[in-house]
Each structure stands twice: as structure tokens, then as C-alpha cells.
């Protein structure tokens, strides 16, 4: 299903909602991130790229890491700063172009990309990965969480990434050490997801999402690639 390019600034400002609630804003860290941290997946200076409202960055900060959260949306950054301040957390948030990251050269030891990669055009992903190389130190780790091609065809996601595409594109500047299936918790119920289709693709038939997996709170849980790589 074709999904129009999302204007994240409008989404965060609420001027053009794409669903009854922001699909990726669950108000807490992604469970897969919590598991990654518990397994020792983070060290040193951490970059949360495409940080959105900052809940993942906040979690990592509470675990003792110095975190910088960057996003292309000023409204998203404003919300992230407000949430961090409300929790009494000292987190550096800023606006940046993820395909350039000017001014952040050689800064980070670990990078978290939680659902940004599949929002980028196929043509811009190499520039993005090259920017991450420039922004990191030798031996840095990169965690990419993105939607695979096993996400149901009629579910409204920006893109679906094949294993071959990940290996070919990420492998240009990074050495992949892990590529496994995981799950991603959304903020949407099945009904919310159907509503999102009607907003984003009004010419599409009404979808039947009754078979979608949900968690104990009724939130849709989607398949996910969990990729870890080292700077080549």
C-alpha cells in the first residue's frame, strides 16, 4: 500500500494527524531497546537519531549513559525537551539533518536508530549511514530497528526493508554483527490502524486488521528487524 511521505513537523504539531495518536509515541521506551540495553548493547556517548519525543533517550539516560537526541522536527525536539525536564533528566536534544550531522563529527560510541531508517528514501540511506560513520568514533556500535517486508501488506508503514537491502546498504560502511527478527510496539489499536489507512490512503478499501498481534494493552505489535553493526 502506498503511504504518502509523512511531514513529521505537522504530526508533532497536531496540524495533520496521521492516526488517532502518534503511532510511534508509546510514552515509554521500546521493549526491544530495554532488552538491548540489558544485554550490554550500549556504551560511552550515545546518539539517539530520530529521537522523536525522547522516551528512548530518557530511558538510556536513567541507565547512566550520556545521550544526545537529534530529530529533524523542531516540534519533536521541543516535546522531547519538555518530557526530559519533567523527569529531571539532563539530555542534549537538538534539530539536525540525519543525512549530514554537521557539527557532530567523531562524537559517539553507540547509535540508536529506532524506526528512522525505514522513513528515509532508498536513495538517501547511503548518505545517512555515511553521516553516522562521520559522527562516530572507531569501533562504534549501531543499532537499527526497522520494519521488515513481513509487515502485513495493507498496514500503514513508511517502508518495508528486505534483508538483502539491509545487508547491502548498511554493509557499505558498517560490519553487521547481528540481524534478527524482533517486535516493535506501536501506540495504535487495531481500530486506530484502520483509521490511519483511511486518512493516509482514502482510496484503499477498509482493511481487516483483526488478525494483527496486540499486547496486553491492545497495542499493535509489528515485526521488526533488529540490526547491530560495528563501524568498519
- Residue 196 exposed, middle or buried by CB count within 10 Å (0-12, 13-18, 19+): buried
pLDDT in tens, 96-145: 999 999 999 999 999 999 999 999 999 999 999 999 999 999 999 999 99
Q: Are 177 and 229 in contact (CB under 8 A)?
A: yes
H or E stretch at 191: helix 190-200
What's the CATH number where 59 sits? 3.40.50.150
Tell me the percentage of the chain whose pLDDT exceeds 90: 94
| CA 52 to the chain's CA centroid | 8
How many Cβ atoms are within 10 Å of 191's Cβ, its own excluded? 12
Query: Does 163 map to a domain?
Result: yes
The verdict on residue 134 lying in a domain is yes
Provide φ and ψ at 111, rounded to 5°. -120, 135
How many CB atoms neighbour CB 179 within 10 A? 15
Residue 2 falls inside a structural domain: no
Q: How many CB atoms lie within 10 A of CB 169?
A: 17
Q: Domain for residue 126, yes or no?
A: yes
1 belongs to a structural domain: no
pLDDT score at 138: 97
Among residues 139, 53, 51, the alpha carbon closest in space to that of 98 is found at 51
Is 3 within a domain?
no
pLDDT digits (tens, 9 = 90+) for 170-216: 999 999 999 999 999 999 999 999 999 999 988 888 899 999 999 99
Full residue range of the structural domain in which residue 159 is found: 8-231
First to last CA, the chain: 35
How many domains is the chain partitioned into structurally? 1
The sign of the dihedral angle between the CA atoms of 77, 81, 83, 87 is: positive
State the average pLDDT for the chain: 96
pLDDT at 2 over 70: no
Q: What is the pTM of this model?
A: 0.97
Is residue 167 included in any domain, yes or no? yes
Q: Residues 226-230: what's their mean pLDDT?
A: 98
Question: Is residue 145 assigned to a domain?
Answer: yes
Take residue 133 and report the three cell numbers written for it: 560513520
Q: What is the pLDDT of residue 5?
A: 82
Amino acid at each position: 500500500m502506498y503511504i504518502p511521505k509523512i511531514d513529521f513537523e505537522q504530526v508533532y504539531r497536531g496540524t495533520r494527524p496521521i492516526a488517532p495518536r502518534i503511532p510511534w509515541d508509546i510514552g515509554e521506551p521500546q521493549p526491544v531497546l530495554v532488552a538491548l540495553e540489558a544485554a550490554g548493547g550500549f556504551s560511552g556517548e550515545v546518539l539517539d537519531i530520530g529521537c522523536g519525543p525522547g522516551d528512548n533517550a530518557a530511558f538510556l539516560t536513567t541507565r547512566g549513559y550520556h545521550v544526545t537526541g537529534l530529530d529533524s522536527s523542531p516540534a519533536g525536539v521541543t516535546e522531547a525537551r519538555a518530557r526530559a525536564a519533567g523527569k529531571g533528566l539532563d539530555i542534549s536534544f537538538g534539530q539536525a539533518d540525519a543525512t549530514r550531522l554537521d557539527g557532530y563529527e567523531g562524537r559517539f560510541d553507540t547509535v540508536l536508530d529506532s524506526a528512522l531508517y525505514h522513513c528515509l528514501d532508498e536513495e538517501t540511506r547511503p548518505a545517512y549511514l555515511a553521516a553516522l560513520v562521520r559522527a562516530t568514533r572507531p569501533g562504534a556500535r549501531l543499532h537499527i530497528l526497522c520494519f521488515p517486508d513481513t509487515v502485513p501488506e495493507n498496514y500503514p508503514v513508511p517502508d518495508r526493508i528486505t534483508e538483502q537491502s539491509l545487508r547491502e546498504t548498511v554493509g557499505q560502511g558498517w560490519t553487521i554483527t547481528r540481524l534478527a527478527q524482533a517486535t516493535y510496539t506501536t501506540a495504535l489499536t487495531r481500530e486506530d490502524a484502520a483509521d490511519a489507512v483511511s486518512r493516509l490512503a482514502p482510496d484503499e478499501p477498509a482493511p481487516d486488521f483483526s488478525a494483527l498481534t496486540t499486547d496486553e494493552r491492545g497495542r499493535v505489535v509489528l515485526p521488526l528487524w533488529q540490526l547491530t553493526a560495528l563501524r568498519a
